[in-house]
């Protein structure tokens, strides 16, 4: 017990320091939490003979709560009405986003000789952009007040919806597939969609229930009641082999219509941030840096191919929103950062049955998120340089005409 508490204490010290460094450097906290986890885990601190944090039961459970709360907040922010309101634009930019990026990831996996499920996991990891990092950068750079914020945030809404469906399917493939043939896959998919379907119906008709549960003014009771709905539903889902993340997403959608959305966001954000930090740290703890070498080939190929792919799809998304070429290019740069959801997919893969799923994909995802979160943030910060590089031809042509 004392050892566990000390270990948890070490975790929070590392995370707090990582957060301070991120703040100092103006970076997103996510990659730094992950690096903190790698350094203080068994593979680095452990090998050096320093006190290290083990990938133990407690940390894993906290990390699991982190995943649940991350997706719960995603559901809370997700509004079907908002999606329907500007559905043509969001759908068109969202479909371009999927059509370009998901196949690139899947193809990389297949070319490397991975199985279909493994390639699908890789596709998801490179497809899904980071809402947290992108939103933070938009605010930091002041782009939030510019027109390019709209295609960026709109496309992220579409990605959120897609990732819910994706996680539901892929969780069944990874946890239920087990390699014993089509029958068990079909069965686990049926269970997943049965459970999630029921949950969706409950969410749709349960607005009165959700608002009654939260109709309390004490902060403590409010927070506890929210957790008392989200965590058990997610737990029940996981017990049935259904994605706990998607279940939490749906509960979030239910709470969003209860009229308490902003209050939940205000009061539960600190809770989410604590468990979220543990989740990112935990991902790092489970990563053996020497495995990064094994994942080096897919990593380099993925960075080289998926950076321009995201920029292209983001650019086209900007054009769908009738933005100028310069602003569309920014929308492209803005979509590059990958983060929390790629790591959620990696955590799912880590529960799989093949060595590629258990070791290579999580190591790949950690390396990929570290590179892409930094690269994306840098590209956004240096967008004026990129704009000059890309549009240099155009300017050269217009200059002689003008002078």
Partner 1 sequence: MTVYESDLPGVGKKHEVELGDGARLVIVTHNSGKREVFRRADADSDSEKLFELSDQLARQVGTLLEGAYFQPVQTDRIETLLGEDTLLEWVEVGPDSPVAGKTLAESDLRQATGASVIAIERENEDVIVSPGGDAVVEAGDTLVVIGQTDACRDVLSTVRGD
Interface residues with partner 1 (CB under 8 A) are 77-79, 82, 131, 135, 138-139, 142-146, 149-150, 153-154, 156-157, 262, 265-266, 324, 326
Q: Which is nearer to partner 1, 80 or 240 (CB)?
A: 80
For residue 119 the two structure tokens come to 């390639």
Q: Which is nearer to partner 1, 19 or 147 (CB)?
A: 147
Residues whose CB is less than 8 angstroms from the CB of residue 309 and which lie 6 or more positions away in sequence, other chains included: 100, 101, 104
Instruction: Provide, rounded to whole angstroms, the least separation between the CB of residue 130 and partner 1.
Output: 12
Q: How far apart are CA 62 and CA 158, in angstroms?
A: 28
Shortest spacing between CB 53 and partner 1, in angstroms: 31
* CB neighbour list of residue 102: distance below 8 Å, 6 or more residues apart: 123, 124, 127
What is the 8-class DSSP label of residue 41?
S
Question: How far apart are CB 219 and partner 1 at their closest, in Å?
Answer: 16
Residue 160 or 359: the one with the smaller Cβ distance to partner 1 is: 160
State how far the alpha carbon of 124 is from the alpha carbons of 13, 152, 218, 326, in Å: 32, 18, 40, 28
Q: How far is the CB of 137 from partner 1 (least distance, A)?
A: 12
Residue 73 CB, shortest distance to partner 1, in Å, is: 9
Round to whole Å and give the CA distance between 14 and 314.
Answer: 35
Q: Smaller CB distance to partner 1: residue 138 or 199?
A: 138
* Least distance in angstroms from the C-beta of 134 to partner 1: 9
- 143-149 own/partner pairs: CB under 8 Å, 24+ apart: 143/330, 143/334, 143/380, 146/327, 146/330, 147/321, 147/323, 147/327, 148/318, 148/323, 148/327, 148/328, 148/330, 148/331, 148/334
Distance CA(108)–CA(223), nearest Å, equals: 43
Output the smallest distance, CB 28 to partner 1, in A. Answer: 14
Q: How far is the CB of 272 from partner 1 (least distance, A)?
A: 13
Helices (H), 286-360: 289-294, 296-320, 325-334, 340-350, 355
54 or 265, CB closer to partner 1? 265
What is the closest distance, in whole angstroms, from the C-beta atom of residue 232 to partner 1 in the complex?
26
Cβ atoms within 10 Å of 263's Cβ, excluding its own: 16
DSSP alpha helices (H): ranges in 78-114?
A: 80-85, 87-111
- Cβ proximity to partner 1: between 118 and 150 the closer is 150
Between 89 and 310, name the residue whose CB sits nearer to partner 1: 89
Closest Cα to residue 268, out of 110, 73, 15, 75? Answer: 73
Residue with tokens 């690139």: 104
Q: Name which of 149 and 366 has its Cβ closer to partner 1.
A: 149
* Closest CA relative to residue 173, chosen from 359, 298, 353: 353
Nearer to partner 1, 78 or 364 (CB): 78
């Amino acid at each position: 017990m004392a050892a566990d508490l000390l270990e948890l204490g070490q975790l929070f010290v590392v995370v707090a320091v990582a957060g301070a460094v991120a703040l100092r450097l103006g970076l997103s906290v996510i990659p730094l939490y992950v690096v903190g986890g790698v350094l203080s885990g068994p593979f680095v601190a452990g090998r050096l003979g320093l006190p290290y944090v083990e990938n133990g039961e407690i940390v894993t459970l906290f990390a699991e709560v982190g995943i649940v709360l991350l997706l719960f907040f995603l559901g809370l922010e997700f509004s079907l009405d908002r999606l329907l309101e500007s559905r043509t634009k969001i759908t068109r930019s969202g479909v371009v986003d999927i059509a370009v990026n998901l196949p690139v990831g899947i193809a990389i996996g297949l070319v490397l000789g991975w199985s279909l499920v493994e390639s699908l996991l890789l596709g998801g990891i490179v497809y899904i952009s980071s809402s947290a990092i992108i939103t933070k950068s938009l605010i930091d750079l002041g782009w939030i007040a510019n027109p390019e914020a709209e295609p960026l945030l709109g496309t992220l809404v579409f990605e959120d919806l897609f990732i819910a469906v994706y996680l539901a399917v892929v969780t069944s493939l990874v946890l239920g597939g087990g390699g014993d043939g089509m029958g068990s896959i079909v069965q686990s998919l049926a269970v997943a969609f049965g459970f999630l379907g029921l949950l969706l119906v409950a969410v749709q008709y349960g607005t009165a229930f959700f608002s009654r549960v939260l109709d309390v003014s004490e902060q403590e009771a409010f927070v506890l009641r929210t957790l008392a709905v989200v965590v058990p539903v997610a737990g029940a889902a996981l017990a049935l082999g259904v994605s706990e993340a998607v279940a939490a997403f749906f509960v979030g959608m239910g709470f969003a219509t209860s009229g308490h959305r902003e209050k939940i966001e205000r009061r539960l954000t600190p809770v989410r941030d604590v468990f979220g930090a543990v989740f990112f740290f935990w991902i790092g703890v489970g990563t053996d840096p020497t495995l990064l070498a094994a994942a080096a080939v897919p990593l380099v190929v993925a960075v080289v191919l998926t950076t321009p792919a995201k920029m292209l799809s983001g650019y086209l998304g900007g054009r769908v929103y009738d933005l100028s070429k310069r602003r569309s290019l920014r929308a492209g740069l803005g979509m590059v950062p990958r983060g929390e959801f790629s790591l959620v997919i990696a955590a799912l893969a880590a529960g799989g049955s093949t060595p590629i799923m258990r070791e290579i994909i999580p190591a790949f995802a950690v390396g990929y998120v570290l590179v892409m979160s930094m690269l994306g943030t840098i590209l956004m910060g240096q967008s004026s340089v990129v704009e000059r590089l890309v549009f240099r031809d155009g300017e050269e042509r217009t200059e002689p005409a003008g002078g």
